[in-house]
Amino acid sequence: MVLTFELFATGGSTAKGTDLKSFSDSGWNLYPRGSDADLVVSIISFQNYSDQIANRSTIIKEIQKQLEACELNNFEIEFEVTKWKNPQVLSFTLKSKLLNRCQEFDLLPAFDALGPRVSKSKPDPKIYIDLIKSTESNNGDEFYTCFTDLQRDFIRPRPTKLKSLIRLMKYWYNQCYRKLRKKGSLPPKYALELLTVYAWEQGNGMTDFDTAEGFLTVLKLITQYQKLCVYWTVNYDFQDEIIRNFLLKQLKKPRPVILDPADPTTDVGGGNCWCWHLLAHEAEIWSSSLCFKTGIFDAVEPWPVLVRTSAVLG
């Protein structure tokens, strides 16, 4: 089988500028992990979303076969075994004994839904109309891989200090994950990333700000997860009737709702799908931490973020 494809986008924390290097309890691992990297490849033979679902498993197997056949001097490649019959991603780790480092990759075959477009221009509404129609017969969030570059572009231009706050929230999330992972499924880390951007946009919006205030603000929002309705209109909006009706339907789902700004069919808030209550309990505990005390009687105050509980149409 001969594959014809092109690198469509690189995503993950490295591309966004919000990467974290892992640190184990006993110090650096034998192979310190680099930041996660998403490699989205546009498969030329994919003509629509249905092609992506029907053929991605075959494509993933072929890519793995070709990678296994490559001669990688001083590198070792280790593939993650998947339990899914029709996986969305090929996960593998590239290890270097010479450098004593390793790098995780997620390779995702995708239909090039966006096609050629002017940089920073808003996607044609027809792209989202076709996406919405495709999700009528498939699960939501099936096609987030087609919009990886929009996810990257949503975060990457943000102020450096905001990206540092995102890193702090991800580090906090990792500590919670280690503690709570056996108790239930936590919401995806991307949800906290978006919630951090929302907190900054609504409560501060400055290039320079107090990190403790930002940290506390996000923690407070997490404790109010049952009220959250978060979305953006940078890539899609309420102007087209089909998109408008779909968005209103999405925004009526059980809270929390946090729509991916790149893909309206993906709700990373997830309502009752995730154990937000576990994360909220940890956030409540951390809100009383000494790091938010500035004196005997003084304490850090969160930003004045109004929790949006429903759609606001303008």
**Greater pLDDT, 313 or 116:** 116
pLDDT band at 140 (very low <50, low <70, confident <90, very high): low
Q: Measured over all CA atoms, what is the biggest interatomic distance in the chain, rounded to whole angstroms?
A: 70
- As a whole number of Å, the CA-based R_g of the chain is 21
Full strand arrangement of the beta sheet holding 37-43: 5-11, 37-43, 101-110, 90-96, 75-79
Residue 225 has pLDDT above 70, yes or no: yes
pLDDT in tens, 158-185: 999 999 999 999 999 999 999 999 999 9
Least confidently predicted of 12-16, 144-148, 150-154, 281-285: 12-16
State the DSSP code for 18: -
* pLDDT score, position 133: 92
Residue 214 has pLDDT above 60, yes or no: yes
Q: Where are the domains of the chain?
A: 5-112, 158-292
Look at residue 249 and give its three-state secondary structure.
helix
End-to-end CA distance of the chain: 51
Residue 32 has pLDDT above 60, yes or no: no
Residue 209 has pLDDT above 80, yes or no: yes
For the chain, give the percent of residues with pLDDT over 70: 87
Look at residue 87 and give its three-state secondary structure.
coil
* Arithmetic mean of pLDDT, 113-137: 85
* pLDDT score, position 10: 57
* Arithmetic mean of pLDDT, 66-82: 83
DSSP 92-132: EEEEETTTTEEEEEEEEEE---S-S--TTPPPPHHHHHHHH
Mean pLDDT of the chain: 86
* pLDDT score, position 132: 94
* pLDDT score, position 2: 47
DSSP 265-280: T-BSS-TTSS-HHHHH
In CATH, the number for domain 5-112 is 3.30.460.10
Strand 37-43 versus strand 101-110 pairing type: parallel
Buried b (16+ CB within 10 A) or exposed e, 118-128: eeeeebeeebb
Task: Out of 7-16, 104-113, 204-213, give the one with best mean pLDDT.
Answer: 204-213
What backbone torsions phi and psi does residue 33 show, to the nearest 5 degrees? -80, 140
pTM of this structure: 0.86
| Cα–Cα distance for residue pair 296/195, rounded to 1 Å | 31
Q: Are 255 and 226 in contact (CB under 8 A)?
A: yes
| Cα–Cα distance for residue pair 164/157, rounded to 1 Å | 13
* pLDDT score, position 104: 84
In CATH, the architecture of 158-292 is Orthogonal Bundle (1.10)
Beta bridge partners of 39: 10, 107
> Any residues with CB less than 8 A from the CB of 220 and at least 6 apart, and which?
283, 287, 302, 305
pLDDT in tens, 227-275: 999 999 999 999 999 999 999 999 999 999 999 999 999 999 999 999 9
* pLDDT score, position 28: 31
